[in-house]
Chain A
């Protein structure tokens, strides 16, 4: 008999994922939405990423009028980078899970913003895509509001005492992105060049853009706590 076993597709299925499947199947059975609605939402979500938000920031750095618009009306400013908060989503009104109110938090040399959602994992998905795993962890959510300087230091961002750190706790219908200060050494750069250094981490506020840095810092990957068992049907004797 062959000893071959298919490799599991994931290391671990969490209780929350099991709960999501159960609620989803129940909702489909009760007719709240159809399996096809769910498929369209999932496909829509997978088309999203942080590039439009990076372009918004780069554009605002170059165009003072656009910068004013971005700070005043983030939803309107998003249209110019190809994101329609109201009509892009399959529902054409926002929710579930993302409302249509975007605020762009403008950093200055003396104020540094950073975003968290202590209650769950609110994140500006239409313009930033899916949140990174660490953003959703209780560890980040609990500690950032209380010890922001220590948590930022863990991301490699140490700020002097005369810079005010402002934590935005996204608890209601507003979603936030951070517009960092344009770094030195980028004089004469094009919008495309500038957008490349505005990483997802910069847009959440746990990093600041630097010339030459176009990737997010690596975060530790922890092994599965309850690894998936994939030897169904195998007789242990």
Chain B
């Protein structure tokens, strides 16, 4: 019986000369959210690996940009690249993330990126 062949270079072959995340363009389908939408960061299980910061879980922010399409980091860490998602730049008021943040600086903000699975309408 022959050993099953796994192509360790499939990502390199796809991305060479195009770039990552550019090589996943057009693969995520229709985006669920648009610029200006209010979204809440979901608190999904994150056994083994995540790039969704715990301090953002449950916080409500505003989508400022649909940045690119890519497999979610939680999948890509295990080389599961067949279901790319839309990624969003989301801006939060600091006060929303840290309740003790001083009112004097109520305008201060923080932005970060999230794949679609982490967002729900708020």
A-to-B contact residues, CB < 8 Å = 32, 75, 85-87, 91-95, 99-101, 118-119, 145-146, 148-149, 161-162, 164-174
Contact = CB atoms under 8 A, between A and B. Distances in A.
A171 B107 CA distance: 22
Contact of A166 (B12, B51, B110): B110
Chain B CB within 10 Å, residue with most, of A87, A93, A100: A93
A179 to B, nearest CB: 15
A174 B67 contact: yes
Contacts of B18: 86, 93
Contacts, number: 100
Interface in B20-55: 20-23, 51-53, 55
Chain A CB within 10 Å, residue with most, of B55, B87, B91, B111: B111
Chain B CB within 10 Å, residue with most, of A85, A92, A101: A101
A170 B110 CA distance: 11
Given A85-B19, A93-B19, A148-B108, A171 B51 contact: yes
B111 A93 contact: no
Interface in B67-118: 67-68, 70, 73, 87, 89, 91, 94, 97-98, 104-105, 107-115
Nearest to A167: B110
A153 to B, nearest CB: 13
A173 B22 CA distance: 10
B4 interface: no
Interface residues of B, number: 37
B8 interface: yes
Query: Top 5 nearest A-B pairs by Cβ distance?
Result: A100-B19, A93-B15, A86-B19, A172-B113, A169-B112
Contacts of A168: 110-112
Question: Is chain A's interface secondary structure helix, strand, loop, or mixed overall?
Answer: loop
A149 B20 contact: no
Contacts of A95: 11, 15, 20
B96 to A, nearest CB: 13
A75 B21 CA distance: 12
Contact of A171 (B11, B94, B109, B112): B112
Nearest to A161: B104
A93 B15 CA distance: 5
B53 A169 contact: yes
A173 B20 contact: yes
B2 interface: no
